[in-house]
Amino acid sequence: MQKIIASSLIIAGFTSFSYAAERYDTTAFRTATKLCTSCHGTAFYQAKQIDDDDWEFYFNTPGKMEKMHQDEPKGLKAINSSLFKKRKKRLLKFFIANSKYSGAVNGCDANFCGTNH
């Protein structure tokens, strides 16, 4: 009986710690870090630059992001990469969730600390 209770508590504790540790999409965060950080700063800093309506406009208007990055070969390459195209919807959700007026304030964790850009 004690083993069952102990196992249940361990599973519940692990689940709650896992949930608390990831308050945002780490896949989208790492994708934005890989593709965009060199020009735009950290993923959270980039997300805070504009509000959610602007993120939707830029992501959902065909050719808009390509036009904005036409003079930036590195940015254009990132936008046209298969990784960006594959994770575009996740990136949009991440940027909206962390946008200017979202109320999200992220501090230090294992993936991110500060706004070095």
- pLDDT for 3-55, tens place per residue? 777 677 677 665 654 444 456 788 999 999 999 988 998 888 899 899 999 99
Amino acid identity for residue 111 in this structure: N
Query: What does the angle CA 28 – CA 78 – CA 87 come to, to the nearest 5 degrees?
Result: 30
Convert the pLDDT of each residue in 57-106 to its tens digit: 999 999 999 999 999 999 999 999 999 999 999 999 999 998 888 877 66
Q: Residue 117: its pLDDT value, please?
A: 41
pLDDT over threshold 60, residue 112: no
The per-residue pLDDT for 45 is 86
DSSP character for 110? S
Name the residue with tokens 């706004």.
Answer: 115
What would the two tokens of residue 20 be?
A: 């608390």
Residue 93, exposed/middle/buried by CB under 10 A (0-12, 13-18, 19+)?
Answer: middle
CA distance 88 to 25: 13
